Chain A
C-alpha cells in the first residue's frame, strides 16, 4: 500500500477515534464511531481483507443504529446524558492511555526485524472453510450467543413486566394510604380548630 493514502486514512481513523471518546454527547460519539469504522474498513480493504472490512462496517452500523434507535425511544432517552467537555479523571485516562500506547510502540519498534514472512497463497474463505473450520464454527457460535444474550438481557420479559406492574400497584396503594392519612389529619386539625375559633368569636 502506498504511504499517502495510508496516512490520510490513518489521520481520519485517529481523529474519529478521538472524537468518539471525547464527544460530550453520546449521539455525536456514535456518529464518530461510524466514521471510524468506515475509515478502518477502507484501510483494511486496501490490504485485501475484504471480508474483515465488510464485517467491521456491518457490526458498527448495526451497533450504532441500535444505540441511536434506543435513544430515540422515549423510555431510554435519559441514557444519553451529556458528559462534561473536560471529564474529572481526564489526567488519569490520558496518563494510562499514553503509557500503554508508548509501551506498545516501543515493543513493536524493538521487534521490527522479526516479522514473519509467509509463503504461498490462500484466501481467507479457504482457510476458514478447509483449514480452520473450528475457528469459523466458534466465531458463528460466539456471534449467536452474543446476540442472543444481548436480546435476552435487553428485552422486557413477562416476569419483569409482572414485577414492574406489582411495584407500580404497591406504590399506588401506598400513595392512596398516604393521601387518606393526610386528609384524616387535616380533618382532625380542622375539627380541633373550629371550636377554638367559635369560642374566640
Chain B
C-alpha cells in the first residue's frame, strides 16, 4: 500500500490541531513559541507531501515549504528576542502577566 496525499493532509491537520491547542493552553511565552513553530511546520508537511504525490514538477510545493521554514525561523528569532525583552522589562515570561503589564 502506498501513501497518498490524504495521508500527508491528515498528518498535517493533526500537527496543526496540536499546535493550536498549545497556543491556546500554554501560559509560558516560550511554550507558546514552541506551539507556534508546530503551526508553521504543519503546512510544510502537507506541501511537501502534495508536491511529492503530484508528479513533482515544477516543485512549487517544495519551494513554498522552504519559504515556510524560513518564515518559521524568522518568527522564532524575533519571538525569542521579544520574550527576552519582556522578561527584562516586567520580570515574567507568562502571557497573563504581559496582559496585566499592558493595563
List residues of A whose CB falls within 8 A of some B CB.
Answer: 1-3, 6, 10, 13-14, 17-18, 20-22, 26, 29-30, 33, 36-37, 40, 43-44, 47-49, 51-52, 55-56, 59-60, 62-63, 66-67, 70, 76, 78-81, 83, 87, 89-90, 92-94, 96-98, 100-101, 104-105, 108-109, 112, 115-124, 127-128, 131-132, 135, 138-140, 142-143, 145-147, 149-156, 160
B11 contacts A by Cβ under 8 Å: yes
B69→A83 contact, CB < 8 A:
no
Distance in angstroms from B19 CB to nearest chain A CB is 7
A3 touches B3 (CB 8 A): yes
Q: A47-B49, A70-B84, A89-B24 are in contact. Are A120 and B17 (CB under 8 A)?
A: no
Q: Which residues of B, 27-72, contact A by the 8 Å Cβ criterion? A: 27-31, 33-35, 37-38, 41, 44-45, 48-60, 62-63, 65-67, 69-72
Q: Which residues of B contact A90 (CB under 8 A)?
A: 25
Decide yes or no whether B14 CB sits under 8 A from chain A.
yes
Q: In the complex, how many angstroms separate the beta carbon of A47 from the nearest chain B beta carbon?
A: 4
B: residues with CB less than 8 A from A are: 1-3, 5-7, 9-31, 33-35, 37-38, 41, 44-45, 48-60, 62-63, 65-67, 69-85, 87-88, 91-94
Contact between B18 and A18, CB atoms less than 8 A apart: yes
Alpha-carbon gap, A36 to B63, bound state (A) = 21
**In the complex, A26 Cα to B33 Cα: how many Å?**
11
Name 5 A/B residue pairs within 8 A (Cβ), A-sorted: A13-B45, A29-B31, A47-B52, A63-B76, A146-B73
A131 adjacent to B28 (CB under 8 Å)? no
A26 & B63 in contact (Cβ 8 Å cutoff): no
Main secondary structure of the interface of A (DSSP, over half): helix
7 nearest A-B residue pairs (beta carbon): A146-B74, A101-B17, A21-B22, A153-B81, A150-B77, A118-B55, A154-B81
Per a CB cutoff under 8 Å, which of B31, B66, B70, B93 touches A124? B66
